[in-house]
Homo-oligomer: A and B are copies of this chain.
Amino acid sequence: MSAMTKAGEPRYRRIAEELRTAIADHAYGPGGRLPSEEALAAHYEVSRGTIRQALMLLRHDGLVTSRRGTRRVVLHDAPVQDFAEMQSFARWARSIGETPQGTVIRQAWHPSNPDEQHHLRITPTTPVLRVLRLRHLSNRPAMLERTTYPEPVGAIVEPLPPDTVSVTEHLERAGISVADAEHTIDLIRADPEDAEHLHCAVGDPLLRERRRSTDPAGIPLEWSEDRYLPGSIAFVVHNSLASTPLTRHLNS
């Protein structure tokens, strides 16, 4: 455990972290009430505004309610994954105690197609790196990943060994970090290529997650289509009046 209070982190984030672990440790119980903002401010020796910032984080993650007139109520006592674990298959796998593996099946530069140009916001002439990667979870195939990288990112991904476990972590070391991601989740049927690598039959249903990741400046870093074998995986989303990150779409 060891809170690992990162020094560079702003105060409200560190406080949010402490509150998170306190909730996960059932310090307040499910349906229990948090101390008042003023009490928390006194305890942490910060202003009420800073406490409110910390509580906003918990609120957006769906851990607590917030409503005028009464103390905040604990909604969930389960720990919430952080952004990095949703962004990196390897990191997620390790966090749930599984051993991730990855194998590049095919990788090459291509002229971009209109779909890629749209999602990566690039001009028709620029090439992209297309990578087909099979992901394993504790030695069993779990997901097939078709990722397209724009030029600067592709240049870093290309020389990596085919069995690189975490591409995301390599990119971070190269100073490329993801700040935003948009996920589209739907159902699709396995094509011959899916079937071959995931060891299923053509036409078998797969859970599809398409994802566009962007850097802090809003520049697209990757456009990926991941196809999961069903039965083992589920996506959990929280939304509320305070923020609505989840929407429903037709056709896609």
Contact = CB atoms under 8 A, between A and B. Distances in A.
Interface of A: 30-31, 57, 60-62, 65, 67, 70, 73-76, 80-83, 85-86, 92, 96, 98, 121, 179-189, 205-207, 214, 216-218, 230-252
- Interface pairs A-B: 7 shortest CB-CB: A205-B205, A234-B252, A186-B234, A73-B218, A60-B243, A187-B230, A180-B240
A17 B246 CA distance: 18
B183 A80 contact: no
Q: Is the interface of A mostly helix, strand, loop or mixed?
A: mixed
Given A180-B75, A241-B83, A186 B235 contact: yes
**Considering residues A85, A92, A249, which has the most beta carbons from chain B within 10 angstroms of its beta carbon?**
A249
B237 A249 contact: no
A218 B75 contact: yes
17 contacts: A60-B60, A60-B243, A62-B180, A65-B218, A75-B218, A80-B244, A81-B247, A83-B241, A85-B248, A181-B239, A182-B238, A185-B185, A187-B205, A188-B230, A205-B230, A232-B251, A235-B246
Contact of A121 (B30, B121, B234, B243): B30
Nearest to A249: B234
Given A57-B243, A92-B248, A247-B80, A234 B185 contact: yes
Contacts of A73: 217-218
**Considering residues A234, A238, A241, which has the most beta carbons from chain B within 10 angstroms of its beta carbon?**
A234
